[in-house]
Each structure stands twice: as C-alpha cells, then as structure tokens.
Chains A and B, each alone.
Chain A
C-alpha cells in the first residue's frame, strides 16, 4: 500500500481534474487531509503545476523541436549549475538535463520554425561563454512522452459483458 502522498501524486498525474471529494473517497481519507496534503506539496514544490499533456501535432500550430547536446566547460565552485541556469532562462528551452557520457547538457528546444531554431543555436546558445560545442537533433515524430502514447490509442478490446 502506497502512502497517501504517493497515491495522490499518481492519481493527479493520471487526471488532475479529480475533485478533492473524489480523491478523498478513492484514498479512503478525509477531504481535509487530502486538501492539506496537496497544499503542502504545492508549497514545497513537489507539485509544480497542473498541466494537460498536449499533442501539438494535432493542432494548427507550426512548431519545431530539437534535442540539443551541449558540451560545456564546468566552472570552478559552480560546476554546471551556473551555465545550466543561463541556458534554461531562454523561453525556447523547454527542458534541461545534466547528463553522464559524451556531452554535458541535453536540452529540449522548441521554436516556431526551423529558421528560428537555427538562429537560436547559432547566435544564442553556441556563443555563450563556456559552451564548447553543440549537436542538434531534430524531432521528427513523438511516439510517447511522459508515459502517454501519442500515436494511435490502445482501445478497449474487451467484450461488453462477460461473466
């Protein structure tokens, strides 16, 4: 049996529109206990926001995504944190990870057009002090993200009524 916190997080991750009453019933707790646990998690940054998972490819919006490997020179006392902060402040940068292996930072970058993205890499990212190299990989198709399958859906294949 998971703790109340874990149960709430998993339920909210699945569907953050569940009401406090529903969450309380489903976890066998009181509305008050669930409410204060969620407040606490919001306050301490366990829950950062409630956002839908969107398949932008099904919208009219023009959009290019790329994964960019970045090699940097770590700074004395700051390691990679200072340069990561410089990078993640750009609106184009959706995710930043510090990686083990052949490069240091992995970015997920989003722009409206290819040109815009190329401009970002060549003029903003590559020119940053301590950035020693980049390799840009364009995303062609998103199959699955955050545990959600994007292309096609696994239908309910069960018979309508069974014993």
Chain B
C-alpha cells in the first residue's frame, strides 16, 4: 500500500479552502500587458529615510534578537502614535506587542480567545484571512453579510441577530478591504453599546486607519467608553507607511491579553525581524517630528485617485458606493447579468484588466468587483477606458 500523506493531516485545517485570490493571480501572471487593479498594497515604495534607517542598522551590526515584545524604543513610539492619532493610551511595557504584520495579530488575538466551538462574527465582504484564522484557532467563523444600502457598514440590529450563546467575539474590519467602507463615530457608539451589553470581545483590524478620507478621520472603537478593556486593536506599517514587505505590525490590548499573546509569539516567532523594527521606529519618529507627512502625502494621492475611480465607474453606469477608506472601490456589476467571477475572468481575458471578484471576500461579495486604485494615474486611466469598452460591448 502506498503512503498517503493526506491521511495524517488535520481534516479541519486541510478543508479550509485556498484564497480565491490565488486563482486570479495564476491566470493574470501569464498575461502580458495586463493592467492590475488587483493589488492589495500601496504603489509607493517605502520612503527612503525609512529604508536608510534599516540599511544603517545593518551597517552597525544590529543583527541580534530583540525583546519578544519588540524594541522598547519602537513600542514607545507606537504608544505616542496611538495617543497622538487616535486618542488611545497603551502602556509600551505590557500592552503593545510588535508582530510580524497585522496578520500575526489576527492569528494571535484569535488563538488566545477561541475555545473549541466559540463563534466569532465576521462581517463580510472582508479580508480573506479572518475565517481561516478562526478555524486555525479552533473556533467557528460566523459570516455576517453587509450590504451596499447600509454603506457596507455593520448595523447593531445585524449584530444582535447573529449573536448566539456561543458567540465570543466579533472582528471589526474597518476601514474595510475590499469595500472601502468606514464606520463613523456615531455608528461605532451604537455598535459599542451592543458589544458591551452582549459581552463580546472585539478584534478591531485598523490596518487602513490612516487611509480614511472622511473629514472626521478614523475613530478606533477602543477609544469609546467601556471598549478598551474588551478590544484588541490590530495595526501595522504596511498601508500607512508603504511597508508591506517588511511585515511589521502591532497589537494594542489590555495587559492580560498581551501577556498570553506574547507567550505564543515568544514560542513561535521569538521576535519580529530587527531591521523591520528599526525601520518602523524611524517611520514613527520622523512622523512625530513632521506631523506624519509621509502618510499625509500618500493619503492625498490615494484620495485624488479614489475620486477619479468612483466618478468613472458611475459614468460607466455601474452602481458605485463611495468608499471612504482603504484604497479600493467596490462597484456593483449586477446589471451586466454576469457573476463576479465570470465578469473578472472575461475582463482579464478580453481586455487585460485584473480585478478581483467580490466573492473572494465572502459570499455577500457576489455582484461586486474589487478595484484597487493603488496604481499610477496613467495606468488607472487606461484600465478605466478598457473597462468602459468592455461594458459597452457586453
């Protein structure tokens, strides 16, 4: 009898589907001349002063481990930043954990709270890692569709309706990838009331916090009364400082949570890479001096492109909710009669533009496509023209 490795796998983990994004990547990678609106990362390169700090750190021979928690000097900068930008107070000694991207933050926070059978609410459409993360942590993901007519925001009623005696926590993914939706302070207060009353833990993924285009800016739910004690704030440097490849993130949470997360982090990761930490510290240090000018410059550039995208899609006759966060628009393609997947496949094969079907982000993404505008303006204009031609000839 031949050896069958699959017999030895954990069936729950083996059954988790691969990301729907992957399939598109494989097709798109073989298409010369394709313009990609499928990229989930900034089109800026990390500002040079940040890269330079990492280079100098290497030249100075800083090649050792850091504290499990991350460099204290970096955690102090994060503490200052969180207070300065979002009015959050965390103790750099035991309430801030430096992670390998916010992705590790998703994993750690879920792992420390999930008991087998615990239900974790996940508003959808949303980032592809949440539901698999819950499964890996031994919990049960409970998707909660959100709708364009509610601006893809979570409603208190929907949360109430989804809660069962097994509900432990909710992931709050705003500003949202893929919809670009944000949840303003007023709405957050209504949600916080439910979270407190129904005793839910909140994992607030705020990786796009700096890319918020509403005049009031981003509000962290942890800043609302009664929420800090039950909230994990996940953030990082990837989107705000164009540092995706550095894999630098952090979690801010009460000490009792951080203490247990740090145990997993200590035994599995040891510490985030040192040069990434040095670079991150430089990003925040310079920001403290110049009012986070790097971030402001990039945000303004995204905002300009965001307006162009929304207007263009509406002119093409698509329904297009106005996204006020992240760098995605999520136009509705229902009127074409095509499924999201077929639409994206045909757009790619016939007109060489890569978009991601909304269904990659949950079943409720059907009828929508995600278009990233983190791409040069000339490329964007060309892609929009091709899409317009595609729609005209459908």
**Which residues from chain B contact A156 at a C-beta distance below 8 Å?**
43
Q: A15-B378, A22-B308, A26-B305 are in contact. Are A161 and B300 (CB under 8 A)?
A: no
> Cβ of B25 and Cβ of A7 under 8 Å apart?
no
> Cβ of B300 and Cβ of A160 under 8 Å apart?
no
> Cβ of A160 and Cβ of B25 under 8 Å apart?
yes
- Which residues of A, 6-37, contact B by the 8 Å Cβ criterion? 7, 11, 14-15, 18, 22, 25-28
**Which one of A22, A27, A160 has the highest number of Cβ atoms from chain B below 10 Å of its Cβ?**
A160
**Which residues from chain B contact A28 at a C-beta distance below 8 Å?**
307
- Shortest beta-carbon distance, A17 to chain B, in Å? 9
A-B contact count (CB 8 A): 60
Q: A2-B300, A18-B377, A158-B43 are in contact. Are A163 and B307 (CB under 8 A)?
A: no
> Cβ of B308 and Cβ of A160 under 8 Å apart?
no
**Which residues from chain B contact A18 at a C-beta distance below 8 Å?**
377
- Shortest beta-carbon distance, B289 to chain A, in Å? 19
B272 at the A/B interface (Cβ < 8 Å)? no
**Which one of A18, A27, A158 has the highest number of Cβ atoms from chain B below 10 Å of its Cβ?**
A158
Q: A7-B300, A22-B308 are in contact. Are A158 and B21 (CB under 8 A)?
A: no
Please report the C-alpha to C-alpha distance between residue A15 and residue B304 in the assembled complex, in whole angstroms: 14
Please report the C-alpha to C-alpha distance between residue A7 and residue B129 in the assembled complex, in whole angstroms: 36
Please report the C-alpha to C-alpha distance between residue A26 and residue B307 in the assembled complex, in whole angstroms: 5
**Which residues from chain B contact A129 at a C-beta distance below 8 Å?**
none
> Cβ of B29 and Cβ of A25 under 8 Å apart?
no
- Which residues of B, 114-150, contact A by the 8 Å Cβ criterion? 127-129
- Shortest beta-carbon distance, B22 to chain A, in Å? 8
Residues 2-33 of chain B: 1 if any A CB is under 8 Å from the residue's CB, otherwise 0? Answer: 00000000000000000101001100110000
Please report the C-alpha to C-alpha distance between residue A11 and residue B307 in the assembled complex, in whole angstroms: 14
A1 at the A/B interface (Cβ < 8 Å)? yes
**Which residues from chain A contact B307 at a C-beta distance below 8 Å?**
25-28
B91 at the A/B interface (Cβ < 8 Å)? no
Q: Which residue from chain A places its CB closest to the CB of B304 in the assembled complex? A: A26
B394 at the A/B interface (Cβ < 8 Å)? no
B82 at the A/B interface (Cβ < 8 Å)? no
- Shortest beta-carbon distance, B294 to chain A, in Å? 14
Please report the C-alpha to C-alpha distance between residue A133 and residue B311 in the assembled complex, in whole angstroms: 59
Please report the C-alpha to C-alpha distance between residue A106 and residue B381 in the assembled complex, in whole angstroms: 41
Interface residues on chain A, size class: 20 to 34
B354 at the A/B interface (Cβ < 8 Å)? yes
B45 at the A/B interface (Cβ < 8 Å)? yes
Q: A1's contact among B128, B300, B311, by CB below 8 Å, is which?
A: B300
**Which residues from chain A contact B354 at a C-beta distance below 8 Å?**
160-161
> Cβ of A11 and Cβ of B41 under 8 Å apart?
no
A154 at the A/B interface (Cβ < 8 Å)? yes
Q: Which residue from chain B places its CB closest to the CB of A28 in the assembled complex? A: B307
Please report the C-alpha to C-alpha distance between residue A22 and residue B385 in the assembled complex, in whole angstroms: 14
A159 at the A/B interface (Cβ < 8 Å)? yes
**Which residues from chain A contact B25 at a C-beta distance below 8 Å?**
159-162
Q: A160's contact among B36, B305, B360, by CB below 8 Å, is which?
A: B36
- Which residues of A, 48-89, contact B by the 8 Å Cβ criterion? none
**Which residues from chain B contact A14 at a C-beta distance below 8 Å?**
377
> Cβ of B304 and Cβ of A160 under 8 Å apart?
no
B318 at the A/B interface (Cβ < 8 Å)? no
Residues 328-356 of chain B: 1 if any A CB is under 8 Å from the residue's CB, otherwise 0? Answer: 00000000000000000000000000101
Please report the C-alpha to C-alpha distance between residue A162 and residue B308 in the assembled complex, in whole angstroms: 22
Residues 38-79 of chain B: 1 if any A CB is under 8 Å from the residue's CB, otherwise 0? Answer: 111101010000000000000000000000000000000000
Please report the C-alpha to C-alpha distance between residue A15 and residue B28 in the assembled complex, in whole angstroms: 28
> Cβ of B39 and Cβ of A162 under 8 Å apart?
yes
> Cβ of B36 and Cβ of A161 under 8 Å apart?
yes
> Cβ of A160 and Cβ of B38 under 8 Å apart?
yes
**Which one of B40, B45, B304, B311 has the highest number of Cβ atoms from chain A below 10 Å of its Cβ?**
B304
> Cβ of B304 and Cβ of A11 under 8 Å apart?
yes
> Cβ of A161 and Cβ of B39 under 8 Å apart?
yes
> Cβ of A7 and Cβ of B38 under 8 Å apart?
no
> Cβ of A160 and Cβ of B40 under 8 Å apart?
no
- Shortest beta-carbon distance, A114 to chain B, in Å? 35
**Which residues from chain A contact B40 at a C-beta distance below 8 Å?**
162-163
Q: A159-B25, A161-B28 are in contact. Are A7 and B36 (CB under 8 A)?
A: no
Please report the C-alpha to C-alpha distance between residue A127 and residue B341 in the assembled complex, in whole angstroms: 74
Apart from A1-B296, A154-B45, A158-B43: 10 A-B pairs, beta carbons within 8 A? A1-B300, A7-B300, A7-B304, A25-B311, A26-B305, A26-B308, A160-B34, A160-B36, A162-B25, A162-B39
28 contacts between A and B (CB under 8 A): A1-B300, A2-B300, A11-B304, A22-B308, A22-B381, A25-B307, A25-B308, A25-B311, A26-B307, A26-B308, A28-B307, A158-B39, A159-B25, A160-B25, A160-B29, A160-B34, A160-B36, A160-B38, A160-B39, A160-B354, A161-B24, A161-B38, A161-B39, A161-B356, A162-B25, A162-B40, A163-B40, A163-B127
Closest A-B pairs by Cβ, 10 of them: A26-B304, A161-B38, A161-B25, A162-B40, A160-B28, A163-B128, A160-B36, A25-B311, A163-B21, A161-B24
